[in-house]
Amino acid sequence: MDKLYQKKHQLWVSINFASFAINDEEIKSKLYDFAQIAFRHMKWIGSDVLERGDNYNYDRDLTLNKRKSVFEVINDLVNTTKETMTLYSNTILSQRLRTDDEYLLEYLSQILKDESNNKEITAFNTRREWLDKNLAQDQIDALTHFLFEELYKEYELILIYAYMQARTTELIQFNVFQDLIDESHFHLKSFGNMMAKMGILALPRELHEMTYIIKDLKQFVTDGIAEEEAAKEMCKELSAAIKDEELSKFFDFINYQESYHIELMQKLLK
């Protein structure tokens, strides 16, 4: 089951980044829905592992292939899904995982049947431009740095909060972790899509187990609040520095969300 957890983790990441890479809004949205299903699969598999008295980790053996067409991305996803399915057993849980993934494969096959879907992938072309806006180089550099740092942070937080949520018996903790996971999913999606539009889409680095095996919750939350405060400052600096009203408003929006994350984390301290 721990091997299955790793494969499902990799599938979740793969579907997410396929969604970010593809420009077609309908395909992008549908794939993101499947990514959310895969994340629920991770939760269920993880619970099953813990109930058996075993454990799981966030080790990864995954690369992001810099494909140039939608069909190349989709074919990679087909292969990753089929590899994951080879580890399913005959349990009720595996039956649910299998039928979900079978429908994912059906959806992917429908995409591949329509040649008009095979558009160019621009998520890896490193052009480092923001849409048709003529941002100065220092603004592009600041935005690039922010996106790489925050993409990793949100990926990290999703996995840390999920790891802790699976191990708590406190309802307040469980609910706070769920809110923080949901918020981080939204931020991961937002930053991933922005990186793709700039042609700099890349995987976040892998987590070391010392990152997510939390032995002192109070210290973790205290450090987390400081990290959120730092993210707020980065958002405010970007909002002030980037001479584009739409982007500035977006970073103000993220800044306000980070403020509420701090309030949620304060509940854990209480």
pLDDT at 53: 93
pLDDT at 188: 97
State whether 135 and 108 are in the same domain: no
Q: What is the CATH number of the domain that holds 85?
A: 1.20.1260.10
CB 104 within 8 A of CB 33: no
State whether 14 and 115 are in the same domain: yes
pLDDT at 98: 98
State whether 109 and 129 are in the same domain: no
pLDDT at 60: 94
In angstroms, the CA 163 to CA 46 distance is 9
Within 8 A by CB and 6+ apart from 4, the residues are 45, 84, 87, 88
Domain count, the chain: 2
pLDDT at 236: 85
Q: What's the whole-model pTM score?
A: 0.95
CB 120 within 8 A of CB 73: no
pLDDT in tens, the chain (270 residues): 779 999 999 999 999 999 999 999 999 999 999 999 999 999 999 999 999 999 999 999 999 999 999 999 999 999 999 999 999 999 999 999 999 999 999 999 999 999 999 999 999 999 999 988 888 999 999 999 999 999 999 999 999 999 999 999 999 999 999 999 999 999 999 999 999 999 999 999 999 999 999 988 889 889 989 988 888 888 888 888 888 888 889 988 998 898 898 999 988 887
Range of the domain at 263: 124-270
Phi and psi at residue 193, to the nearest 5° = -65, -35
pLDDT at 133: 86
The residue out of 121, 137, 168 marking a domain boundary is 121
State whether 160 and 225 are in the same domain: yes
State whether 25 and 146 are in the same domain: no
CB 13 within 8 A of CB 203: yes
pLDDT at 241: 84
State whether 245 and 165 are in the same domain: yes
* Residue located via tokens 């600041």: 142
- Comparing CA positions, the residue from 55, 45, 49 lying closest to residue 12 is 45
* Planar angle of CA 239, 242, 243, nearest 5 degrees: 115
